[in-house]
A and B are shown apart, each in its own frame.
Chain A
Amino acid sequence: MAHDTHTHVRSQAEYEYVRRQRAKEMRNQLTSFAMMIFLTLIAFTTVAADFSPYLITPIILLLAAVQVVLQLYHFMHMSNKGHGMVAFFMFSGMFVAFITILALVTIVWW
């Protein structure tokens, strides 16, 4: 039925291998987290430092984009296998999102 699974009992070597793989993934995620904190700090600092808005705006938007990629690929596992459909959904969503924001902002600015 819908919940049925095939049970596979791991050998000790297999078990230790997957544990190591997971620990490795965890370390990558910790690195991503450190980077996200760092990017956030840079974003807040640039604003507090009071540079020109024309300089700050593109920088903080870029930092946000990088941070979102880290979240999606490392925290939400999009870098793992079997995420082709997921990428298709998300990129379609982001495309529509981009067009929506562009359209409304353009109408107002015109």
Chain B
Amino acid sequence: MDLNKRYTPQTWPDHPETATMEGKNKFVGFWLLLAAETVTFASLFATYLALKDKGPSGMEFAAADLFELPLVFAMTMILLTSSLTSVYAMYHMKNHNFKAMQAWLMVTVLLGATFLGLEIYEFNHYVHLGFGYTHSAFSAAFYTLVGTHGAHVLFGLSWFIALMLRNAKRGLNTYNAPKFYLVALYWHFIDVVWVFIFTVVYLMGVIG
């Protein structure tokens, strides 16, 4: 197996992520997954939109009073920047610069972890206000949608870390290049979903 094959920037293929049959298959399969994920999130968004501000009579929580934009703005900027840092990582992957790729993946992981920390702080804050998961149809729909996204962030972070550790001594080859490429795609997809969450949940929530 060519795990032991050493590449140089001169011999590194133009598209290392699809240079092997396995890489090509992963690429197609992964995009099929992303299309399916789009539908998953659509059903959660649809549920949220249908149940927004709905709950028991006399419910004291409404999206317009609950959400705070400064925190959401910070989370948005952090996740968007982490999307750029993973683009940098893939730039170095394509130039066969393993160390620079690992460094930018590290920055991406740190930004992602900061985002997740802020989300946990936010949820914790709401729960302390009395807005727990079982509080109302609105709260359940909100936590399920935003929480599923948060779970994706957590999964993406674990995936990044696992790949970085497992391949730390291997360097870049056509066996692991597709793996790094796909986790970066996954990370961008998480950002795509967040764009709709901050727009539909938070911004449209605040305007009532």
Which residues of A pack against B, CB within 8 Å? 1-5, 7-10, 15, 18-19, 22, 25-26, 29-30, 33, 36-37, 40, 43-44, 47-48, 53, 56-57, 60-61, 63-64, 67-68, 71-72, 75-76, 82, 85-86, 89-90, 92-94, 96-98, 100-101, 103-105, 107-108
Contact = CB atoms under 8 A, between A and B. Distances in A.
Contacts of A71: 83, 188, 191-192, 195
Interface in B150-208: 174-175, 185, 188-189, 191-192, 195-196, 198-200, 203-204, 206-208
B14 interface: yes
Contacts of A48: 69
A73 B49 CA distance: 28
A89 B35 contact: yes
Contacts of A67: 195
23 contacts: A3-B3, A22-B95, A26-B88, A26-B91, A33-B87, A36-B80, A40-B73, A40-B76, A44-B203, A47-B207, A53-B204, A57-B207, A76-B185, A82-B15, A90-B38, A93-B37, A94-B38, A97-B39, A98-B42, A103-B46, A104-B46, A104-B49, A105-B49
Given A53-B207, A56-B207, A89 B192 contact: no
Nearest to B91: A26
A67 B92 CA distance: 24
Interface of A is mostly: helix
B32 interface: yes
A97 B41 contact: yes
A107 B50 contact: yes
Interface string B66-95: 000100010011001001100110010011
Contacts of B50: 104-105, 107-108
Given A3-B1, A5-B174, A10 B11 contact: yes
Interface stretch (B18-26, B108-116, B117-125, B126-134): B18-26
Contact of B11 (A9, A44, A72): A9
Nearest to A25: B91
Contacts of B45: 97, 101
Can you list the 10 inter-chain pairs with the closest CB atoms, starting with the nearest? Answer: A97-B42, A93-B35, A104-B46, A93-B38, A89-B35, A64-B199, A108-B50, A2-B22, A101-B46, A86-B31
A100 B42 contact: yes
Given A26-B91, A71-B195, A3 B20 contact: yes
A76 B38 contact: no
Contacts of B206: 47
A34 to B, nearest CB: 10
Contacts of A47: 69, 203, 206-207
B59 interface: no
B80 A100 contact: no
A5 B195 contact: no
